[in-house]
């Protein structure tokens, strides 16, 4: 069976239990997944989940929606978790979200910088969430160029932003949005994107791909997204799976599949 990695899901927010989600994913070839932190409760969930499930890796960090809650003691908690648990392999999701503005812009920027510096200190890659904040995102990434790079997850920004990020070495995370009827701009980016810079993700439980719109998303939907992209690129599903797996292993320094 073709094997896949879901590089971005939220196992603590799914409809099913994490056990059910992991097993259902493995049944369709999604052998490994990264569950992503957004706030303090999810830091605790993620650090337990990576110990409980051999298939699960995790990231630690504060989402821009929750940036107001970030503090020095929470920064220390993130640092300690990342240093102690080798399956916590990235800082994220961190970044800027000017769409909802749940948190003031200045706070988002300060906490984004703070966590980029932490990624640099720990030599970990970044899982970045950037929405409607292209100029400030690029400005801050140029100020603090994290050597271990990262992924612009759930990429939906402009073609120009895609090109700039890829030139800086970054990866783009592509999810079910690519299947949406109104996502022609994203499809243009995905047709162009060098295959060695593409990562697959579900962002489940959000962003369910066509034809499952209206139902909650899950890691087991990766093959649906992958099939769509393989057709769009006119390559085999196997080639897409192998290359995107290799990319995830390279960026997140995951062990080779046994």
Cβ neighbours for 257, distance < 8 A, ≥ 6 positions apart: 3, 31, 32, 245
Closest by CA position to 115, among listed 132, 99, 96, 91: 91
User: Which is closer to Zn ion, CB of 131 or CB of 253?
Assistant: 131
- Residue appearing with tokens 């022609």: 184
Token digits of residue 142 = 């140029």
Confirm or reject binding of residue 218 to Zn ion (CB under 5 A).
Answer: no
Contact 147, 123 (CB under 8 A): yes
User: Which is closer to Zn ion, CB of 76 or CB of 158?
Assistant: 158
**How many residues bind Zn ion, per CB under 5 A?**
4
Segment contacting Zn ion (CB under 5 A): 35-43, 109-117, 192-200, 227-235?
Answer: 35-43
CB of 224 to Zn ion, least distance (A): 18
Confirm or reject binding of residue 129 to Zn ion (CB under 5 A).
Answer: yes
Segment contacting Zn ion (CB under 5 A): 15-23, 110-118, 123-131, 227-235?
Answer: 123-131
- Measured distance CA(169)–CA(73) in Å, rounded: 32
Confirm or reject binding of residue 221 to Zn ion (CB under 5 A).
Answer: no
Cβ neighbours for 63, distance < 8 A, ≥ 6 positions apart: 38, 39, 93, 94, 95, 97, 129
CB of 65 to Zn ion, least distance (A): 9
Site string for Zn ion, 137-176 (x = CB under 5 A): ----------------------------------------
Any idea what the Cα angle at residue 13 is, between residues 127 and 189, rounded to 5°? 40
Q: Where are the beta strands (DSSP E) in 181-251?
A: 198-200
Segment contacting Zn ion (CB under 5 A): 23-31, 50-58, 122-130, 220-228?
Answer: 122-130
User: Which is closer to Zn ion, CB of 2 or CB of 18?
Assistant: 18
Nearest-CB residue for Zn ion: 129
User: Which is closer to Zn ion, CB of 36 or CB of 162?
Assistant: 36
Segment contacting Zn ion (CB under 5 A): 86-94, 171-179, 182-190, 243-251?
Answer: 86-94
Count CA atoms within 13 Å of residue 12 on its CB side.
18
Cβ neighbours for 4, distance < 8 A, ≥ 6 positions apart: 29, 30, 31, 200, 222, 223, 226, 241, 244, 245
Q: Please report, as ranges, the residues that interact with Zn ion according to CB under 5 A.
A: 36, 93, 129, 203
């Amino acid at each position: 069976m073709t094997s896949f990695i879901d590089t971005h899901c939220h196992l603590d927010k799914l409809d099913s239990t994490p056990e059910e989600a992991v097993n259902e994913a493995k049944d369709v070839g999604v052998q490994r997944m990264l569950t992503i932190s957004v706030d303090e409760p999810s830091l605790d969930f993620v650090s337990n989940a990576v110990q409980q499930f051999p298939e699960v890796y995790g990231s630690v960090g504060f989402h821009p929606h929750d940036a107001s809650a970030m503090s020095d003691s929470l920064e220390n908690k993130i640092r300690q978790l990342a240093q102690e648990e080798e399956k916590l392999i990235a800082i994220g999701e961190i970044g800027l979200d000017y769409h909802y503005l749940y948190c003031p812009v200045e706070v988002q920027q300060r906490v984004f910088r703070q966590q980029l510096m932490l990624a640099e200190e720990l030599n970990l890659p970044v899982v970045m969430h950037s929405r409607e904040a292209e100029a400030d995102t690029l400005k801050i990434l140029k100020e603090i160029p994290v050597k271990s790079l990262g992924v612009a997850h759930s990429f939906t920004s402009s073609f120009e932003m895609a090109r700039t990020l890829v030139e800086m070495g970054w990866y783009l995370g592509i999810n079910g949005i690519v299947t949406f009827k109104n996502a022609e701009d994203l499809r243009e980016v995905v047709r162009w994107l060098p295959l060695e810079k593409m990562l697959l993700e579900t962002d489940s439980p959000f962003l369910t791909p066509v034809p499952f719109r209206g139902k909650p998303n899950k890691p087991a939907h990766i093959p649906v997204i992958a099939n769509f992209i393989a057709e769009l690129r006119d390559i085999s599903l196997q080639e897409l799976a192998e290359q995107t797996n290799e990319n995830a292993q390279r960026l997140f320094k995951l062990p080779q599949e046994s």
